[in-house]
Amino acid sequence: MGFNGDIVVLRAQTPLTDLAPFVGGNGHPVYGEWSYLDGWRAVHVRHFEDPYAFQGPWLTDLAARTGSPVLVCGVFESDVAHVQGLSGTHFWEGWLDPGTAASRLAQDRWERAGGRGDFARFRDEAAAWLEEDRPRVAEAAVRWAAAAGYQVRPEPVLELLALKRDPFVERLFFDLLTRLGLVAAPAR
C-alpha cells in the first residue's frame, strides 16, 4: 500500500485542523506534517469520507482564511499526483509523472464510457494533452511562487513536470515545493 491522501501546503500560524472544515477526526485525519521556513507547512490528510472534499470552494476558503497562496496535492497509491494551486483568484492545476497520469486519465475516460473505446488512444490523447499543457502549468506554478514571495525560474519546474516518479510520486511533489522556493525548516 502506497501513500494516499492530500498534501495541503499553507502558510499560517494556526494548525490546519483549526482552519479547515473536515480536517481532523475520523473522516479526514492528519497523518503527518512537514515544516518549511517562512511559516510554510505541508500537512498530509487522509480521506475516509469524501475524497474530493478538498477541492474548489474548500481551497478558496482555506486561502481566504490564511491570506496566503495554498497548494493541494492529491496522491493515490504513490503513483498518481494531481496538484491544485490557488493564489488570490488565480487557480491552476497539473499532474506529476505524465506517463502514469495519462494512464490514469485514460482509465477514468474509459470507465465513464462504460468500458468501451480504445484505451490506448485515450492514453495517447491524454499524454499529448499533458505535454501540450506542461508550459502553462509551469508558468502558473511560477506565478504561485511569486504570490508566495519567491522568485523562481520556469525551466526547473517545466523539467520536473516531465519526470517519472522514482519510485514514489509524492517525492516529485516535495521536489516541486523546493523548486517553487520553499525551504525545509531545520530539524529540531
- Residue 1 pLDDT level (bands cut at 50, 70, 90): low
Q: Quick check: 169 pLDDT over 80? A: yes
In a domain, 37, yes or no: yes
Kindly state whether residue 122 falls inside one of the protein's structural domains. yes
Residue 188 has pLDDT above 80, yes or no: no
Domain presence at residue 188: no
Cα distances from 44 to residues 81, 95, 160, 179, in angstroms, run 13, 18, 21, 20
Residue 96 belongs to some domain of the structure? yes
- Whether residue 184 lies inside any domain: the answer is no
Question: How confident is the model over 82-133, as pLDDT tens digits?
Answer: 999 999 889 999 999 999 999 999 999 999 989 888 999 999 999 999 999 9
Range of the domain at 27: 5-179
Name the domain count of the chain: 1
Instruction: Round the average pLDDT of the chain to a whole number and report it.
Output: 90
66 within domain boundaries:
yes
Reported as a single tens digit per residue, the pLDDT across 43-56 is 988 877 666 666 77
- Residue 127 in any domain: the answer is yes
pTM of the model: 0.91
